[in-house]
A and B are shown apart, each in its own frame.
Chain A
Amino acid sequence: DAKTTQPPSMDCAEGRAANLPCNHSTISGNEYVYWYRQIHSQGPQYIIHGLKNNETNEMASLIITEDRKSSTLILPHATLRDTAVYYCIDRPYGGSQGNLIFGKGTKLSVKP
């Protein structure tokens, strides 16, 4: 079963920042926070991951609280193409665990 909890759905206006929260109440010290998204009828797509420092790449920013019990994925300027289901996942260090454990994710709807 998934270890993270996310709101089932969120709306965001096009061009505005989308902030997607995730609770990691049982995350352990050797687990990273991963974010994937799944656009309708496609396979999931990796977005970003982090351990305890904030991270940024060309797709998004990841903010992890100091106690690591929650994280926020930020899409700085959401577009209609960002409409998707977003999943946050806790995964052990080094990828020793082969699989990803997905929850139900957050369905983000970007509206014009």
Chain B
Amino acid sequence: DTGVSQDPRHKITKRGQNVTFRCDPISEHNRLYWYRQTLGQGPEFLTYFQNEAQLEKSRLLSDRFSAERPKGSFSTLEIQRTEQGDSAMYLCASSTQYGGPGGHEQFFGPGTRLTVL
């Protein structure tokens, strides 16, 4: 399967614990995005990388959240001192930088569902 993969698919943790999620993009894609989705809402943008550079961060990305993409391939999203409000689906997507006018279609992974007890 050459699509976007995410690990783990499900994570249950206790409030105050740290969690880390991994995303492996499509291999030839140099852009990688993180989104968060709560029940009944559309995905909300968190941050994105072009190669290893983090180019944009949403105001939703509080100080407890950090994302990395050290070699421009896979990415990790860490949440420190989790809170119940962090319970959500965390989605990763990837795309090319070069897609022609209106291109840059984003391919999404299956997501990691986080439950904070």
Contacts and interface: CB of A to CB of B under 8 A. Distances in A.
Contacts of B110: 41-43
Contacts of B103: 95
B68 to A, nearest CB: 17
Interface residues of B, number: 31
A101 B44 CA distance: 7
A81 to B, nearest CB: 17
Given A43-B109, A99-B33, A104 B42 contact: yes
Given A43-B93, A43-B108, A46-B107, A102 B102 contact: no
B85 interface: no
Given A43-B4, A95-B99, A95-B102, A100 B45 contact: yes
A103 interface: yes
Q: Is the interface of B mostly helix, strand, loop or mixed?
A: loop
A44 interface: yes
Interface in B9-39: 31, 33, 35
Interface string A38-75: 00011111100111000000000000000000000000
Interface in B68-112: 91, 93, 95, 97, 99, 101-111
8 contacts: A43-B93, A44-B43, A45-B108, A91-B102, A95-B95, A95-B102, A98-B45, A99-B35
Interface of B: 4, 31, 33, 35, 40-45, 48, 50, 55-56, 58, 91, 93, 95, 97, 99, 101-111
